[in-house]
């Protein structure tokens, strides 16, 4: 009788354990499905997918494959960013010299390829990160030279134990290329109950384990990134090279607008060109730390050609000449609020 009672208790406990495990599996599966659903319902950030070689995995992860274009020429073709170009050249020259020393049997100085990009929004950090990935490929540091762009939402999950899995999956996609984490400081701003620390710990471990096949670039506002790196000794030891991205001048923003217009097959009247420069000067004079820089110039251009289309549509579109369709007038820019 006692044996049967113990047997029944054993069976009951076994059933409880099995039900507990099934509930756990169901919860994790539901969370993963919810995460995928949230990703699919979130509007893609088009600013991050401007490259024709980019593939948007979801709203928080974009992969840009290495193009065949010369990365050094592309770097030089960027408007402004003189100090950034000098920093990249200096790093590239140092790496080349160390490789030459190694080939000659001389002692080489170990260099960290991981980088911290600091500066305000729209200052070219993502564009330069794409170029850096290809430079590292050209130097033989990386085999593929692709760039995986993500942010806090691409690394952190909502439930215990899932952040490490999610972070590792993103890192796996960046192997033999560069992992670019925008606004990386946000990993440490979630409070005590946040899983940002788990993402950072996972990242640091993978940077060590995959040090010969993974480069990480973190980016964000200058002060916030400084505090982020200083918050963790592991981050301090791995990220010791900073590149500061300055804001664009009014003339540089004007040139960015003109460059995009030329690529799009448009040109400005002299009056429109003068107004454009004065508008950029006013924007720069009144900017705050959230000013969009190149993003502001791109948005102004896109809205200008929409205003041009509205102006032209008032007449018979079929009778418009190539000249009419190509010209941006002052009123088209003025109409952008």
Is residue 247 over pLDDT 80?
yes
Is residue 300 over pLDDT 80?
yes
CA distance 189 to 50: 29
CA distance 84 to 93: 14
Among 49-58, 195-204, 326-335, the range scoring the smallest mean pLDDT is: 49-58
Asked if CATH classification 1.10.8.60 holds for the domain at 250-334, the reply, yes or no, is yes
Among candidate residues 180, 162, 158, the one with its CA nearest the CA of residue 171: 180
Question: In this predicted structure, what is the pLDDT of residue 161?
Answer: 84
For residue 240, give the H/E element and its range. none
pLDDT tens by residue, 160-218? 789 999 999 999 999 999 999 999 999 998 766 678 999 999 999 999 999 999 999 99
CATH (residue range 46-245):
3.40.50.300
Segment 133-142 mean pLDDT = 98
Question: In this predicted structure, what is the pLDDT of residue 315?
Answer: 86
Is residue 19 over pLDDT 90?
no
Tokens (6 digits) for 301 = 């251009």
DSSP 186: G
Domain assignments of the chain as residue spans, ordered by start: 1-41, 46-245, 250-334
Question: In this predicted structure, what is the pLDDT of residue 42?
Answer: 32
**Residue labelled with tokens 């085999």:** 143
Tokens (6 digits) for 209 = 């384990």
Among candidate residues 241, 246, 245, the one with its CA nearest the CA of residue 91: 241
């Amino acid at each position: 009788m006692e044996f049967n009672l113990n047997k029944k208790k054993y069976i009951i406990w076994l059933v409880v354990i099995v039900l507990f495990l099934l509930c756990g599996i169901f919860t994790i599966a539901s969370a993963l499905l919810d995460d995928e659903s949230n990703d699919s319902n979130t509007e893609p950030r088009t600013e991050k997918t401007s490259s024709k070689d980019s593939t948007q995995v979801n709203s928080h992860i974009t992969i840009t494959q290495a193009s065949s274009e010369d990365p050094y020429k592309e770097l030089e073709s960027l408007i402004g960013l003189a100090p950034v170009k000098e920093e990249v050249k200096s790093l590239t020259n140092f790496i080349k010299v160390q490789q030459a020393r190694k080939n000659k049997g001389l002692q080489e100085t170990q260099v960290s390829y991981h980088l911290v990009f600091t500066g305000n929004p729209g200052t070219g950090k993502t564009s330069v990160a794409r170029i850096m990935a290809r430079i590292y490929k050209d130097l033989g540091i990386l085999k593929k030279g692709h760039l995986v762009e993500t942010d806090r939402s691409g690394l952190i999950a909502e439930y215990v134990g899932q952040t490490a899995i999610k972070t590792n999956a993103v890192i796996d996609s960046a192997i033999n290329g560069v992992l670019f984490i925008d606004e990386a400081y946000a990993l440490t701003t979630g409070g005590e109950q946040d899983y940002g620390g788990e993402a950072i710990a996972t990242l640091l471990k993978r940077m060590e384990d995959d040090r010969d096949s993974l480069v990480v670039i973190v980016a964000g506002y200058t002060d916030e990134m400084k505090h982020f790196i200083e918050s963790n000794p592991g981050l301090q030891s791995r990220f010791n090279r900073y590149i500061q991205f300055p804001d664009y001048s009014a003339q540089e923003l004007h040139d960015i607008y003109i460059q995009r217009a030329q690529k799009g097959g448009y040109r400005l009247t002299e009056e429109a060109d003068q107004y454009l420069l004065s508008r950029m000067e006013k924007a720069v004079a009144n900017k705050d730390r959230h000013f969009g820089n190149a993003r502001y110039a791109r948005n102004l251009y896109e809205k200008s050609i929409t205003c041009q289309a509205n102006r032209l549509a008032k007449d018979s579109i079929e009778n418009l000449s190539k000249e009419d369709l190509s010209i941006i007038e002052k009123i088209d820019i003025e109409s952008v609020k």
